[in-house]
């Protein structure tokens, strides 16, 4: 078997159907001497003459050769199908399942539109939104537990690809009547006068995107409560003096449901850049590409970008 190759299979089929050395060699686009070598190899492999001289120039097939015609045709057809296969994805009829990992902060911005688009464009597609307890891992992608992650990695592993979805700014949020927030502003002295409720994905308490800025200013000890859900701090601000750090788009969206006051951060802080991440093994997958394009489209149409 080690000596067999695709050209030998093609030569076998050409010889069996043409039953003529010259015609078979022309069909394959090779010299007659090369075809003679293939015929010799085939005879040695099958321990059979396969083609024998008859009347005229057309050769006669042995019983074994006759039985091989259909099998050779089928084998070539399967190989052609294999190498010409281009996987397609039709969202209208697909019943594929996708798992997206994102925090509730991202989910409140994207999930409603995701569900609406699925209902319209892919009614059979199943979507599983998972709340990640951590973001910097490759294992969840390699195991298939997560198809797409939405958020902001501190470090992006080499095996992951990324695409920016939107940019937002950090804001200070308090209850609607918080004494420290006046006309959308809060001074740094007022900020650190009040205890903070903080959102953290990490097992290490109080460690997240915003915390490094608090640490630089030496005020990380003002964090009194750490919650594993990003939206929850916003719900507990009412009728208290607690403050929290969030992103503007989320805070403004929830301010229609919860009495909140929002202020710009009184010190320089980097923008919050939200990305979608996926494993390079899924990069060319048509279904996965469709999912990524849909998420990006939602971010654009929602004016998130």
Residue by residue, DSSP assigns 57-92 as SPPEEPHHHHHHHHHHHHHHHHHHHHHH------TT
Neighbours of 39 (CB within 10 A): 20
pLDDT tens digits for 237-284?
A: 777 888 888 889 988 988 888 888 899 988 888 888 899 999 999 999
CA-CA-CA-CA torsion sign (106, 109, 115, 120) = negative
pTM value? 0.69
| Cα angle, residue 132 at apex, residues 141 and 150 outer, rounded to 5° | 70
Domain boundaries for CATH 3.40.190.10 within the chain: 97-167+273-301, 170-270
Sign of CA dihedral 274, 87, 115, 146: negative
pLDDT at position 151: 85
Pick the CATH number of 170-270 from 3.40.50.300, 1.20.120.1630, 3.40.228.10, 3.40.190.10: 3.40.190.10
Q: Where in the chain is the domain with CATH 1.10.10.10?
A: 6-84
Query: Are the C-beta atoms of residues 28 and 61 closer than 8 Å to each other?
Result: no
Cα separation, 176 vs 270, whole angstroms: 26
For range 124-152, the mean pLDDT: 81
| Averaged pLDDT score across all residues of the chain | 83
Terminal Cα-to-Cα distance of the chain (whole angstroms)? 57
Is 97-167+273-301 a CATH 3.40.50.740 domain?
no
List the CATH code of the domain at 6-84: 1.10.10.10
Rounded Cα distance, 305 and 300, in Å: 5
pLDDT for the residue 233: 67
């Amino acid at each position: 078997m080690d000596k067999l190759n695709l050209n030998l299979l093609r030569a076998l089929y050409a010889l069996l159907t043409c039953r003529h050395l010259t015609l078979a060699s022309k069909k394959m686009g090779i010299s007659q001497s090369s075809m003679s070598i293939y015929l010799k190899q085939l005879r040695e492999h099958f321990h059979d003459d396969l083609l024998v001289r008859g009347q005229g120039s057309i050769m006669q097939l042995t019983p074994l050769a006759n039985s091989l015609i259909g099998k050779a045709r089928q084998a070539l057809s399967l190989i052609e199908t294999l190498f010409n296969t281009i996987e397609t994805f039709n969202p209208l009829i697909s019943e594929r399942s996708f798992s997206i990992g994102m925090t509730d902060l991202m989910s409140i911005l994207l999930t409603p539109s995701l569900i609406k688009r699925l209902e319209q464009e892919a009614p059979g597609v199943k979507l599983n939104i998972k709340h990640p307890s951590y973001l910097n891992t490759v294992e969840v992608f390699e195991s298939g537990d997560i198809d797409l992650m939405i958020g902001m990695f501190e470090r992006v592993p080499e095996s992951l690809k990324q695409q920016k979805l939107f940019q937002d700014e950090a804001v200070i949020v308090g209850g609607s009547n918080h004494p420290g927030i006046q006309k959308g502003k809060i001074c740094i002295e007022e900020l650190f006068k009040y205890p903070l409720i903080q959102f953290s994905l990490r097992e290490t308490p109080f460690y997240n995107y915003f915390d490094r800025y608090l640490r630089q200013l030496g005020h990380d000890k003002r964090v009194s409560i750490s919650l594993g859900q990003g939206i929850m701090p916003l719900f507990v601000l009412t009728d208290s003096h607690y403050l929290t750090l969030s992103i503007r788009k989320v805070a403004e969206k929830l301010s229609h449901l919860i009495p909140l006051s929002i202020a710009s951060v009184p010190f320089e802080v980097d923008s919050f850049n939200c990305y979608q991440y996926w494993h390079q093994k899924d990069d060319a997958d048509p279904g996965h590409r469709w999912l990524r394009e849909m998420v990006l489209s939602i971010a654009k149409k929602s004016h998130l970008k």
